[in-house]
Every structure is written in C-alpha cells, then in structure tokens.
Structure 1
C-alpha cells in the first residue's frame, strides 16, 4: 500500500477582480451553492460533497490562485508534516493552528517549489450533503486541479518527495517531449496534474458530475448560456475521463468531467501517451481539434500570488 501524506483534494481558492460576475457564474451557471461568506470572500460547496466547500472566491485587484487545499488523516499527521517540511527547508506560511474557515479543522500552509500556496488540514467538519439525482447537471465534487509549470520535472519531484504522490500517466509529444504528469494521492487516477507551460499558473480545475447524462446536460447548459467553450465534449485516454472545458468570467479554465478512472494500484504501471495521436486526447473523436490556440487558453495569466500568501 502506498504511503500517501494527503488523503484527498479539498478545495481550490481563487482571487479575482470581477468578484460579482465570478459568483454569479459559479452559483447561477456552474451549479455550486453558497456555503458561507465574509465581506469579499465567498465559500462555494458542491451539493453531493461532504467537503465544507470546494471553491473559495476572494475579491482582489489582482487575479491569482490563492491556494490548493488537501486533507490529512489527523492533527498528529498535520503536525508531523509541518515539522518534516520545515526540516527539509520548505517555506511554511505559518505553524499548524485551528482554521477559521467553514468546517474549521486544524492545518497549516506552505509554498511549493514554485511558490504556490498549499493548505493541509485535518478534522474539518463534514458538510450536510445530499445525493445528486439522476438528470441533475451539477457538480458532485471537485475532481482534480492542474497547474502550469516552467519546470514540471522539478515540481513533480517536489510532490513525490515530500508527499508520496505517484505518477499515474504522462503525456508526451515527439517534438516537445514530456508535457503533462498525472499525480495521485489515493486510488483515483489523479487529483493533481503538472503541465509544462510558459509560466506558473492555474491550468484548470475539474468538477466531477454524477454520470455521462448529467455531464452532457451540464455541458449543453454552458453552451446554451454562451459560456466560452475551449475544448470538448470528449473522453481522454489518460484517466479515461470525459471533458468539457470552459472559461469563467475572469479567464480561468474550468472543466466538467465524469468517470475518472479508479486504479488497481498494486498492478498499475504508468503509460507514456503520445498526444500527437488524436485518440489519446479524445478517444471519442467528438471534441474540437486540440491545437496551439486551444492550448494557449489554459496557459492563463501570470500568477501574481507566487511566494505571496493570500491574506485569508
């Protein structure tokens, strides 16, 4: 059994200049519910998830990825992780303490090798949630987060060394080399992926839908609403999950997905997939062709939050 430091992905936090449009998008179109708010910060939950919230939106003059949050087993493991990271020279934002966000809990934050803020927490109170019904096109949970990196090999090594992440699969191109690493911290194919990009930034966040029908209904709802679709609908080979990518009002890429692969870890061996083969990017052949213009949409803006902890 693999010794993972993290149990699962909790939430992603974004800072945006156009706060009201962002909230309207996620609540009126994307399908999330308000779990709490405090001044210019709103916490958004998925109806099918026990997580207290899966997206946090904060108003700021600068657009940035505030943080990515993961769960830990218990408070003792949080303390042990903070001590170990400190000894290894990883820059901590603060010492472990009680959290003052919805669900509470106990945790701390640190900067990864490229300056992203990562939060680790345990003992967060579960949120009252419900079963998402058949035909209901709203997210069940946050599936995974993908980030752009100028040195993906070093970033992958950072998460492998300090937290026991395992590489599930890698995407490569004959001309460009290795381009994306899918990392897991449990039996799901990936909760994080690292993409080679022109600057560190959020590539996309992905939301799991109940099933194929709900995924397609959600995709259609976005298209009918005139939300800019980047790529999809289709089905990737790595992870075997469906995909439809859209831009939120502040230019962040968001994905609807479903049926992400759950691995038999004892027998799994990573693949090196050549994405110049169209069937690797989209097994169905239903998505618009991937090209440099489509890819550039998810490069995102230069992240102004690197090695700068969010104020909340």
Structure 2
C-alpha cells in the first residue's frame, strides 16, 4: 500500500471543511481535483473512508481513525524523515521543492546537464501549497512556486517568468476559436495546480474570468494531460516549456494571440534564517535562464 502524503492532507481538509466545495475553496483547487485525490486515497486503502449523503462528507469509523492519524503525525513525520535522510548523506544536497511545470521542464535541466550539474540535489514536485510548507518546516532548502502568497516568515522572491499557452491536438479535432464564448463550451483536461494557471490565462488573454469549465479528465501530472490532449480528448492550458516534446512530434500545438501573450511570474521561496551554500548560486542561474 502506497498512500501519498498529499492525499492525507486533502483528506484532513475535507474532513474539517465538511464538503468538497468547502475543501476546494481552502485548497484553491477544483472540486474535481479534490474528488480525484480522495478516490486515489480510498483506492490505495482498499476501503471507503466517508459516509456520503446530504451534501456532506463525514468520516466513517475507518475515516475517524485515519483522521486521528493525520492529526497526530502530520508534518512531524515528514520533517523527521527528511532529517534522518540528510544526516545519513555524506554530501549536503540542495533540497528543492518546485511546482511541476516549472520544476520538471525549466529547473531540472539546469541541474541535469546545465550550469548547476555539479550541485547534488533532492528534487520534489508537490503543489504550490506544499512547496511553501516544505520550506517552512525545513524539509526543503529552497522552493519555487508560480504565485505569491503572503507569509509572515518566508520570503517570496521573483526569479523568472514562464509563458502559459492553450494547447490542442494538431490532428483529428477542430481548433477552438480564441474567444470567451467559444472557450466557455470547450472540453478541458485539468491537473493539480491548473486552477491558477487557467485563471491567469483567461484574464491576460481574454480579459475574462471563466469559473465553470467542462472538465472531461483530471490528472496529477502534465505528462498525462498532454497525452490526453494529443489524443484529441480535450484542450488544456499549460506552461509552454512543457509541450516541447509533443510539439516536436506534431502531436499538439499552442494557440496564441501574438498581441496578448500570457506570462506568469515564478517566485523562489526562502526562509531567511536557513542557509545552504548553493542557494545564492542557484538563484542567480535561475534568474539568468528564466528571463526575469
């Protein structure tokens, strides 16, 4: 059995909020995204953890025990685990948490075969909320997120930008028109963190806020999103750096308005009281390559 910590976090928020809608507001995600993670949790456990009815989600006996576990263990276990791993390592690796779109496609190449290839790292791709939590608790030395949230102790430092694009299949489907009326009725493939990305694109490119989407599929990672789009099953809005491989194969294409490109700021998340020898160098390289 492999239960991811983020599923437990979502489970606890839903229990405390009492409904999918309320929990989605707390987590800044769609109800579909929250429901998907609850389903994955119950699949991993092999049993239901809620009594469903009357619009509320109430934990059953198994759910009550799981909720107690979440409250007891929570972040303490994750921090302890990381401290043990760090103590056992002969080299002080730079521990990084980054949102998936930026982390996988822009940040990781800098360490793989770029100017930071000599830096030992431990890389994670959690949600933006968990990136901040990792830096706050000392699980990570450095974080990267695509939105700035006020925090009483942590710094959010702008270090770069990413372009956000609407993507569709190149074959087998009619290309959607780039206007608000057409896109209200499009079929969308969403993912964890897509709420903010979609809202940013709609606001910058169309000047509107489309809150109700026709969601045909939801995934955790962008790889599955792009496979679904390439198969003509829907459209999505993603960081442009993510589509390079699919675009090179001719599977997907970005639909853009040259006069209104969509760019989003990337922020580094730092704890001013925490120090690592490679943080400043990493930030400098990211600034140079992410075109701040």
Q: Normalization by structure 1: what TM-score?
A: 0.27
Q: Normalization by structure 2: what TM-score?
A: 0.28
Higher strand share: 1
Q: Which has the higher contact order (CA 8 A, sep 6+)?
A: 2
The structure whose Rg is larger is 2
Higher helix share: 2
